């Protein structure tokens, strides 16, 4: 009697901040303020690109887009805006992957999400890492 698993193909954008725990240990109010300001930039630009935030946990964020192009444009704009802020101490890594996910209420689970998160860990702080599969879709469109 396994519960039904609902799948879909979507573009996942995973983001996480470099040195978040260290920053929080050093300057908690400043890091909270920075995190909130960064989340607000993510929210605004994800919405502008017709994406949706599926989950946030600490400095981590999982979002999805119906188009790889929109996800990539969103990521570029987020990094550009965050890097333009003189007060921003947190630098985010972003991973983008087009993959199969499992819908879990408003949240997303599955290997596709984990792959996006793994790409994110390999991105440079302030940078974006896009899976080859997503790139093919991006350049083909």
Contacts with a copy of itself by CB under 8 A lie at 2-3, 5, 20-21, 24-25, 28-29, 32-33, 35-36, 55-58, 60, 62, 102, 107, 109-111, 113-114, 117-118
Q: How far is the CB of 106 from a copy of itself (least distance, A)?
A: 11
Dig out the tokens for 108 from the structure. Answer: 């997303």
Q: Which is nearer to a copy of itself, 43 or 73 (CB)?
A: 43
The distance of closest approach from Cβ of residue 74 to a copy of itself in the complex, given in angstroms and rounded to an integer, is: 20
Place of tokens 């990539």: 72
3-state SS, one letter per residue, for 63-114: EEECCHHHHHHHHHHHHHHHHHCCCCCCCEEEEEEEEEEEEECCEEECHHHH
Closest distance to a copy of itself from the beta carbon of 28 (Å): 6
């Amino acid at each position: 009697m396994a519960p039904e698993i609902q799948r879909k193909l979507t573009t996942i954008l995973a983001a996480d901040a470099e040195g978040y725990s260290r920053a929080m240990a050093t300057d908690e109010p400043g890091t909270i303020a920075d995190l909130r300001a960064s989340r607000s930039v993510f929210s605004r630009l994800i919405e502008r690109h017709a994406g949706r935030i599926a989950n946030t946990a600490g400095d981590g964020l999982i979002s999805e887009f119906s188009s790889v192009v929109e996800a990539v444009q969103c990521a570029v704009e987020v990094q550009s805006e965050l890097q333009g802020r003189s007060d921003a101490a947190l630098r985010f890594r972003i991973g983008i992957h087009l993959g199969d996910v499992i819908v879990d209420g408003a949240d997303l689970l599955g290997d596709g999400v984990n792959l996006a998160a793994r790409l994110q860990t390999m991105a440079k702080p302030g940078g974006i890492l896009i899976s080859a599969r997503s790139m093919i879709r991006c350049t083909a469109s």
